[in-house]
Structure 1
């Protein structure tokens, strides 16, 4: 663990989603701040990503955002971040987010969140890092995905060790507790 524990949270940045997901993101941000941790995020100011960062700062967390130039140019950047790293590509974004984090939590999200989750989950399974990878799923958002992955295991495409590498939780406290185990 670094001097200040840093958790990277993946979540949706698209507007118009169920308000309970915005509240979930805000609850995670608040809990990160209350634990005295740093939040690492995708550096956006919209939807869940924005709610997460705003709540984290209100609760005293330092926030570090990583965002590609193209998204800054579209005025999507969270310029209130304590530190905003601007990169050229999404690959650079993910690499910096991973480098600055001690653990990862994925909240409900879409294809971008899934892509980030699968990359960090896979790299952990391949022992490219030993950081916890946690899925916070209080509303069953990922039920179908998890069933599909278990089906891949049953068909011989995925090992139990890979499935076990992902910690699935249903509450904010469980998710953040799993980050330090």
Structure 2
């Protein structure tokens, strides 16, 4: 078994969303990861954008590591076609394992679960628990409103520009993934045991 060149943790919706561009972006992400010798780490579901990105990675010859809590195996329809499927006890274990297995993080469109995972890993980064790069794929302007709100948080001095600088955003999967992988090569040993 070949060791993957890198691992990207992808957070995304367990539903496909209304805009077909969301699914197209998920396919592009999976294909890019596989084409560049990488590995997808994700929440282990077979539905929505989760299933789409996993299927695209597998179809293009890439490795997929799914991590899902026991309670969600049926609710999110665990993807039993993953290269590795880890069924864990709870959400905390899931998120920690996903973070440990990743060299970088990428959020695609999704709901509160996706947002919670993004903000948690972003918080860990600002606190110095890891220095792995974080990306926000702003497909079809999905995150425009959130980015505007975050700019308001900076203007209101609840956040600093340096915190915004910890997350890269863009609309092109290939460009954003390339930036994340390049930045991930500079990552130091994370302190995930302190989380």
What's the TM-score, normalizing by structure 2? 0.88
Matches of 2:55 and 2:129, distance apart in 1: 31
Secondary structure in 2 aligned to 1:144?
A: helix
The equivalent of 2:188 in structure 1 is none
Matches of 1:75 and 1:146, distance apart in 2: 28
Matches of 2:131 and 2:26, distance apart in 1: 25
The equivalent of 1:53 in structure 2 is 54
The equivalent of 2:167 in structure 1 is 166
Matches of 1:115 and 1:93, distance apart in 2: 13
Q: Does 1:36 align with 2:37?
A: yes
Matches of 1:52 and 1:156, distance apart in 2: 37
Q: Are the structure 2 counterparts of residues 105 and 75 from structure 1 closer, same or farther at C-alpha, using a change threshold of 3 Å? A: closer
The equivalent of 1:17 in structure 2 is 18
The equivalent of 2:116 in structure 1 is 115
The equivalent of 1:86 in structure 2 is 87
Matches of 1:139 and 1:157, distance apart in 2: 28
Matches of 1:75 and 1:156, distance apart in 2: 38
- Could you report, residue by residue, the CA deviation over 1:2-55 in whole angstroms, capped at 9, with x for unpaired residues? 863100011101255322211210111011100110100100000111010011
Unaligned 5+ segments in structure 2 are: 184-195
| RMSD over aligned Cα atoms | 1.4
Could you list the runs of 4 or more consecutive aligned residues of structure 1 that deviate by over 3 angstroms after TM superposition? none
Q: Are the structure 2 counterparts of residues 170 and 74 from structure 1 closer, same or farther at C-alpha, using a change threshold of 3 Å? A: closer
What's the TM-score, normalizing by structure 1? 0.95
Matches of 2:77 and 2:91, distance apart in 1: 14
Matches of 1:156 and 1:16, distance apart in 2: 33
The within-5 A match list for 1:66-77 is 66-74=67-75, 76-77=77-78
- Could you report, residue by residue, the CA deviation over 1:70-127 in whole angstroms, capped at 9, with x for unpaired residues? 1114461000001011111111111000000000011111111100100111111111
Unaligned 5+ segments in structure 1 are: none
- Could you report, residue by residue, the CA deviation over 1:104-155 in whole angstroms, capped at 9, with x for unpaired residues? 0111111111001001111111111010000111311111111111111111
The equivalent of 2:142 in structure 1 is 141
Matches of 1:131 and 1:178, distance apart in 2: 12
